Amino acid sequence: MAWKVQISPEARIDIQDAISWYNSRQKGLGTRFFKEVKNTLNQLKRNPYYSVKYQQVRCLKVYKFPYLIHFVLDEPNETIIIPGILNTSLNPDENWFMDLE
């Protein structure tokens, strides 16, 4: 059975910002990015047990794009909680994930 995915409002903003940025660079590139994010989320739904990167946070790379989907597992409810989808080329606030605890 597939896991449920819960995307935070901040992660939705991350996705929309990336779509807008890619579309400003090349027509249709934002759509390609969004398609790869959806493919990665579908992959997570089938198997969310990727290695823990820090604390309880796991990461999975978006294919062909420099983004990592950061997520935690709510195993009793079979839910994947996504607090952020971050560009690997940027330096995020070091404590952005502290609200997960």
- The per-residue pLDDT for range 7-49, each reduced to its tens digit, is 999 999 999 999 999 999 999 999 999 999 999 999 999 999 9
Residue 61 sits in which domain range?
4-88
**Domain containing residue 46: CATH number:** 3.30.2310.20
**Is the pLDDT confidence value at 60 over 80?**
yes
Residue 73 domain-assigned (yes or no): yes
Parallel, antiparallel or unpaired: strands 67-74 and 79-87: antiparallel
Residue 98 domain-assigned (yes or no): no
Residue 93 domain-assigned (yes or no): no
Residue count (the chain) = 101
Residue 78 domain-assigned (yes or no): yes
Q: Which pLDDT band holds residue 88 (cuts at 50, 70, 90)? A: confident
Residue 24 domain-assigned (yes or no): yes
Measure the N-to-C terminal CA separation of the chain; round to a whole number of Å. Answer: 27
Residue 10 zone, left/alpha/beta (φ > 0; ψ -120 to 50; rest): alpha
Domain total for the chain? Answer: 1
